Chains A and B, each alone.
Chain A
Amino acid sequence: MPRFMPAPQPEVSVAPTPSVAANPLFPFVLQLADTSLILAHRLSEWCGHGPILEQDLALANIALDLLGEARSYYQYAAELEGKGRTEDDLAYLRSAVEYRNPLLVEQPNGDFAHTIVRQFLFDNFHYELLKALKNGPDAQLAAIAEKSMKEATYHLKWSSEWMIRLGDGTPESRQRLDKALAVLWRYAGELTTPTPAETNLQELGLVPDYAALLPAMQAHLAHVLAEATVPMPTTPAFAQQGGKQGRHSEHLGYLLTELQYMQRTYPGLTW
């Protein structure tokens, strides 16, 4: 498959960071942290159960990258908040309604096709988002984005290749891919639909304009689906919204129960 090259696009316009502007960014950085953590957690559930050893390694690798990215965001969020909370306080001591990840990333792994479609839809957004963030006005966020983008480039290549293999593989793989895409497509639109809070930050120039990311995302989606011989979904991609505002699917509660088990059972200890 040809290596994915993002289409050229206009630079994201940015305003200088106002001097007291550190705090408004806190919820957005937390949202980025939650998103990467929840997807990392889901991917880590595959560890030891992958379809073939090489892909077990790849899934764990991507999970590790996202976990590392999440930690950078949490540490920065804790600093922005300035209330003495740590990365672990933020990850382990917030309830489902306080989590700000989009619905897509909390969806269960399902079969390998579900995991691939979820990953591909996320990677296609994540890559473009990081590209914009690394040129953004906030130096710390730009530094995290720059580091993460190297990893996200590989993630997108990996998930794109699997989309193509499964779409243009066997009748069974195609049927599974179609089913996964039909289920997960409804969550894709939330990624690029700004919440009121994001809109405010976009107006301040602190958060990239998602509309500007869409052309490159759509071009890559069209390219991958064409290679996979899969038709473009016709149903609305924005059917489901709410995760970024704390309105989650029922899946997240169980995920957090497991994730937070030790910290909730033995409060306040060092591990």
Chain B
Amino acid sequence: METSTLTPEEQFQARIDADVRIEPKDWMPDAYRKTLIRQISQHAHSEIVGMLPEGNWITRAPSLKRKSILLAKVQDEAGHGLYLYSAAETLGASRDQMLADLHSGKAKYSSIFNYPTLSWADMGCVGWLVDGAAILNQVPLCRTSYGPYARAMVRVCKEESFHQRQGFEVMQTLCEGSAAQKEMAQESLNRWWWPTLMMFGPKDADSPNTEQSMKWRIKRFTNDELRQKFVDMMVPQAEFLGLTVPDEKVQWNEERQAYDFGEVNWDEFWAVVKGNGLCNHDRLQARVQAHEEGAWVREAALAHAAKRAARAAVAA
């Protein structure tokens, strides 16, 4: 290809089309940069806010082994947040600004974390369903066009698939347990099923960013494609566990070789996105409070580092 005659945009798109990774110092369209910063920072925020619903059960985990696994899992999420903030920083975003946007409500995070965790079985459902949905969203991102994001996602996905297996195992233990445990598992599935389907975002027809993101290979599948994959993956798993998915319309469609399923309650979806979920206020408040109460600690660390540097300069 005669690249010299192409505009920077055309050269950029040619690299994307050839599946060449874009790196931080490469030229990129402003809109690509902005879209990525929005997406990566939202993803980072989701990891950090996502620590809260599971963190809610660390002190009440039913055995020392479960406590240890849950704490390690939530700590992994903090680690994911850290890689993702770093990936966004390579695009020129600062962590302070990203956090300020989260705290002001300007930046979003995954709506799923605005639902409460009410029983131990929720630790199963969050791992099995929520992390399961996250993996479907994230595995394609390991091949996303922006290098630092793709590389961060490789590590994130490895850990997420472990999280999902442990969530499934929590559910399996409950389903093989007493009647009360099985009931706990079903009740939790009833609450989490629909919100998890919402994690794939609005229907393709209502998702204005999808087309451009697909073209830039930031996104590799549409929302509806991923939602269908999720249902196809999860319905047999629920059956294996002896649980019932709370959707009467779920039925295998021989012709499509896929499950038919009912319509998501989009009013609820948009209400939670707009801040009216049960936990929106509490989640954000918890983040803001941790940040504000930590301000003096961060200041002290900086002040001490400055004092040491000054003393070292005098000594030298």
Residue numbers of A with Cβ under 8 A of B are: 37, 41, 44-45, 47-57, 60-61, 63-64, 67-68, 70-71, 74, 87-88, 91-92, 111-112, 164-166, 168-170, 172-173, 176, 258-259, 261-263, 266, 269-271
B8 within 8 A of A: no
Render B43-71 as a binary contact track against A, CB cut-off 8 A, 1 for contact: 00000100110010011111111111001
Q: Is the CB of B59 within 8 A of A169?
A: no
Once the chains bind, are B67 and A67 in contact (CB under 8 Å)?
Answer: yes
Q: Are A259 and B59 in contact (CB under 8 A)?
A: yes
Cβ of B290 and Cβ of A50 under 8 Å apart?
yes
Contact A173 B177 (CB under 8 A): no
Tell me whether B300 and A165 are in contact (CB under 8 A): yes
CA distance A48 to B59 in the complex (A): 13
- Which of A64, A164, A169, A261 is in CB contact (< 8 Å) with B68? A64
CA distance A60 to B51 in the complex (A): 12
Counting chain B CB atoms within 10 Å of each CB, the highest count among A88, A173, A270, A271 belongs to: A271
| One of B75, B181, B290, B297 near A57 (C-beta < 8 A) | B75
Q: Which residues of B contact A (CB under 8 A)?
A: 48, 51-52, 55, 58-68, 71-72, 74-75, 78-79, 81-82, 85, 120, 170, 173-174, 177-178, 180-181, 286, 289-290, 293-301, 303-304, 307
**A71 and B72 alpha carbons, distance in the complex (Å):** 15
Known: A47-B55, A57-B82. A261 touches B48 (CB 8 A): no
Which A residues lie within 8 Å of B64 (CB)? 37, 67, 70-71, 74, 87-88, 91
Q: Is the CB of A262 within 8 A of B297?
A: no
* Pairs of residues from A and B, 8 with the lowest C-beta to C-beta distance, nearest first: A51-B294, A169-B300, A173-B300, A262-B62, A51-B297, A48-B51, A271-B62, A48-B55
Asked, given contacts A54-B82, A173-B300, A262-B120, whether A71 binds B290 with beta carbons under 8 Å apart, the answer is: no
Contact flag A170-B286 (CB < 8 Å), given A47-B71, A63-B71, A258-B60: no
A92 contacts across to B, CB distance below 8 A: 63
Q: Of B60, B61, B74, B295, which is in contact with the most chain A CB atoms at under 10 Å from its CB?
A: B60
Question: With A and B bound together, what is the CA distance between A33 and B290 in angstroms?
Answer: 30
Given the interface pairs A164-B304, A173-B296, the reply to whether A44 lies near B59 with Cβ below 8 Å is yes
Q: Could you tell me the dominant secondary structure of chain A's interface residues?
A: helix
How many contacts A-B (CB < 8 Å)?
137
Query: How distant is A51 from chain B, measured CB to nearest CB, in Å?
Result: 3
The complex places the Cα of A168 from the Cα of B63 at a distance, in Å, of 41
Chain B: minimal CB distance from A1 (Å): 9
Closest-CB distance, A254 to chain B (whole angstroms): 10
Contacts of A164 in B (CB 8 A): 304
Cβ contact within 8 Å between A48 and B52: yes
Q: Which residues of B contact A170 (CB under 8 A)?
A: 296, 299-300, 303
Q: In the assembly, what is the distance between CA of A270 and CA of B180, in Å?
A: 12
A67 with B68: CB separation less than 8 A: yes
A41-B59, A165-B301, A165-B304 known; A49-B79 Cβ under 8 A: no
Judging by beta carbons under 8 Å apart, are A270 and B58 in contact?
Answer: no
A271 touches B120 (CB 8 A): yes
CA distance A52 to B293 in the complex (A): 10
Contact B67 A111, beta carbon cutoff 8 Å? no
Q: Indicate if the CB atoms of B61 and A262 lie closer than 8 Å.
A: yes
In the complex, what's the smallest C-beta–C-beta distance from B109 to chain A, in angstroms? 13
A164 to B308, CA, bound (A): 11
- Complex contacts, A173 vs chain B, CB 8 Å: 296-297, 299-300, 303
Residue of A nearest to B307 (CB): A168
Q: Measured between alpha carbons, how far is A50 from B301 in the docked complex, in Å?
A: 14
* Complex Cα gap A50–B291 (Å): 8
Report which residue of A53, A92, A165, A259 has the largest number of chain B beta carbons within 10 angstroms of its beta carbon: A53
Also in contact, A169 and B299, with CB within 8 A (given A41-B59, A53-B85, A70-B64): yes
Known contacts: A88-B64, A170-B299, A170-B300. The answer to whether A52 contacts B75 by CB under 8 A is: no
Q: Which residues of B contact A70 (CB under 8 A)?
A: 64
Query: With A173-B296, A271-B62 given, is the CB distance from A71 to B68 under 8 Å?
Result: yes
Q: Can you report 18 residue pairs joining A to B where beta carbons are below 8 Å apart?
A: A45-B58, A48-B55, A48-B290, A49-B289, A51-B294, A52-B294, A60-B71, A60-B75, A112-B297, A166-B297, A169-B299, A170-B299, A170-B300, A173-B296, A173-B299, A266-B180, A271-B62, A271-B63
B51 to chain A: which residues have CB within 8 Å? 47-48, 56
